[in-house]
Amino acid sequence: MTLPISADLIAEHNAAQAAALEDDYGALGRKLARAGIDINAVKDRVAAFSVAVPSWGAGRGGTRFAKFPIPGEPTNIHEKLEDCAVINQLSRVTPRVSPHFPWDKVSDYAALREEAAGLGLGFDAVNSNTFQDQPGQAHTYANGSLSAQDPGARRQAVEHNIECIEIGRKLGSTDLTVWVGDGTNFPGQQDFARSLDRYLEAASEIYAALPDDWRMLLEHKMFEPAFYSTVISDWGSSILAAQELGPKAKCLVDLGHHAPNVNIEQIVARLHRFGKLGGFHFNDSKYGDDDLDSGSINPHQLFLVFNELAEAEANPRDGFRPSYMIDQSHNVTDPIESMLSSAEAIAQCYAKASLVDRGALHAAQEANDTMMAFQALRRAYTIDVSPILAKARVEAGGACDVLAVYRQSRYRDRKAQERRAVGLGAGIV
């Protein structure tokens, strides 16, 4: 396996940091031991945690106003994989890539799978795209895809999703994520009930094509690109659709796809309660589907989501296999740096949720001791778990300080010499 960053550079950096890391890890270990927690057990848990990165997140995103490319950004799936390999090589927490079709279309998927494996990567959920028209496509999605009135557009959207399953089988994926932008911009534009009927009928055709061990992850979104109504607008529509489709259909929670101030952690608990929690698209937001970096705005919310996941893991109903993915738009940063920082923020919340004294939390809940219940969460949230993450990373061959090594490697500068420049223009939103 040939990884993009020099192993010697990582080793030298880690050696220089080793004494400080041991010191910090030892101090945190003693603090946790006083609370009856074995730091090595937490580290082992963290070492087993992973989150997928989106192929589309490797390029600079943009808004409908502009996209500002950077020199050396990837121009195709091969270059995206190489960048994703950098993220995983340094962080050791992102071993899978979630591809999007037709954006990542190639002629030989077996070869693509091998290429990824050669970079230490596998593939996560495949994402279909029926929210844009592609050149030469027979039917437009301007009036919807799976829910369109036009039977031709519906058929085309179903066939595209089935093709995504076929591609995913070749890549070793076991999940199909379906997000449709279908909806309306005017009251009266479409009949709410009939558009959902059409969606369900089309989605059931995709569901019927799922291999036995596959899941169909339904991703809801309240608005955008449709601004008045969206067919799968919220977790309610999502769970109803998933229940109607069958046991292999689950709900995917993108943190940016909710009404402002919605209690997302409670949604997570509800979906799990009914065996329908399928996975996440992690990002952060201030106003809507901002696709900001995970944990950059509201890290406490991210922690509370992981706290519900820790509860769910302890009480599995209908299995507990949420898939974790990042879905962000990196408009003003180097996407590799954003995903390194985001993966760390996500793993930190996972680690902190593991530190919650669940016995104390549940006892306080039973006793209606509100303050102590809250303190059980607060105690875990305020612990700086970074030495645990760094130790797990270093032991797995990653870098103690991921961003420092990435900058020292001058990877992007090297790619700027090798890769063709990306054109200006509006980006994806």
Q: How far is the CB of 325 from Mn ion (least distance, A)?
A: 8
Q: Which of 60, 281, 393, 412 binds ligand PSV (CB under 6 A)?
A: 281
What does 428 bind: ligand PSV, Mn ion, none (CB cut-off 5 to 8 Å by kind)? ligand PSV
Query: Is residue 67 a contact residue for ligand PSV (CB under 6 A)?
Result: no
Query: Is residue 254 a contact residue for Mn ion (CB under 5 A)?
Result: yes
Query: Is residue 289 a contact residue for ligand PSV (CB under 6 A)?
Result: yes
Q: How far is the CB of 387 from Mn ion (least distance, A)?
A: 32
Interface segment toward Mn ion; rule CB under 5 A; list 73-81, 128-136, 225-233, 246-254: 246-254
Q: Which burial class, exposed, middle or buried, applies to 33 when counting CB atoms under 10 A from its CB (0-12, 13-18, 19+)?
A: exposed
Query: Is residue 428 a contact residue for ligand PSV (CB under 6 A)?
Result: yes
# residues near ligand PSV by CB under 6 A: 10
Binding mask 111-130 for ligand PSV (x = CB under 6 A): ----------------x---
Q: How far is the CB of 283 from ligand PSV (least distance, A)?
A: 8
Nearest CB to ligand PSV, comparing residues 175 and 254: 254
Nearest CB to ligand PSV, comparing residues 77 and 389: 77
Q: In the complex, which residue's CB is closest to ligand PSV?
A: 179
Q: How far is the CB of 99 from ligand PSV (least distance, A)?
A: 11
Query: Is residue 175 a contact residue for Mn ion (CB under 5 A)?
Result: no
Q: Name residues contacting Mn ion, limited to 276-305 (CB under 5 A).
A: 281, 289
What does 127 bind: Mn ion, ligand PSV, none (CB cut-off 5 to 8 Å by kind)? ligand PSV
What does 272 bind: Mn ion, ligand PSV, none (CB cut-off 5 to 8 Å by kind)? none
d(CA 375, CA 361): 8
Q: How far is the CB of 201 from Mn ion (least distance, A)?
A: 24
3-state SS string for 345-392: HHHHHHHHHHCCCHHHHHHHHHCCCHHHHHHHHHHHHCCCCHHHHHHH
Nearest CB to Mn ion, comparing residues 241 and 355: 241
Residue type, 244: E
Nearest CB to Mn ion, comparing residues 52 and 361: 52
Q: Take residue 395 and report the two structure tokens written for it.
A: 């032991």
Nearest CB to Mn ion, comparing residues 281 and 412: 281
Q: How far is the CB of 379 from Mn ion (least distance, A)?
A: 32
Q: Take residue 102 and report the two structure tokens written for it.
A: 């037709």
Q: Which of 293, 327, 344, 401 binds ligand PSV (CB under 6 A)?
A: 327
Q: Which of 124, 219, 344, 401 binds ligand PSV (CB under 6 A)?
A: 219
Q: Name residues contacting ligand PSV, limited to 221-260 (CB under 6 A).
A: 221, 254
What does 182 bind: ligand PSV, Mn ion, none (CB cut-off 5 to 8 Å by kind)? none
Q: How far is the CB of 182 from Mn ion (least distance, A)?
A: 14
Q: Which of 179, 280, 324, 406 binds ligand PSV (CB under 6 A)?
A: 179
3-state SS string for the chain: CCCCCCHHHHHHHHHHHHHHHHHHHHHHHHHHHHCCCCHHHHHHHHHHCCCEEEHHHHCCCCCCCCECCCCCCCCCHHHHHHHHHHHHHHHCCCCEEECEECCCCCCCHHHHHHHHHHCCCEECCEEECCCCCCCCCCCCCCCCCCCCCCHHHHHHHHHHHHHHHHHHHHHCCCEEEECCCCEECCCCCCCHHHHHHHHHHHHHHHHHCCCCCCEEEEECCCCCCCCCEECCCCHHHHHHHHHHHCCCEEEEEECCCCCCCCCHHHHHHHHHHCCCEEEEEECECCCCCCCECCCCCCHHHHHHHHHHHHHHHHCCCCCCCCEEEECCCCCCCCHHHHHHHHHHHHHHHHHHHHCCCHHHHHHHHHCCCHHHHHHHHHHHHCCCCHHHHHHHHHHCCCCCCHHHHHHHHCHHHHHHHHCCCCCCECCCC
Task: Point out which residues bind ligand PSV (CB under 6 A).
Answer: 56, 127, 179, 219, 221, 254, 281, 289, 327, 428
Task: Point out which residues bind Mn ion (CB under 5 A).
Answer: 254, 281, 289, 327
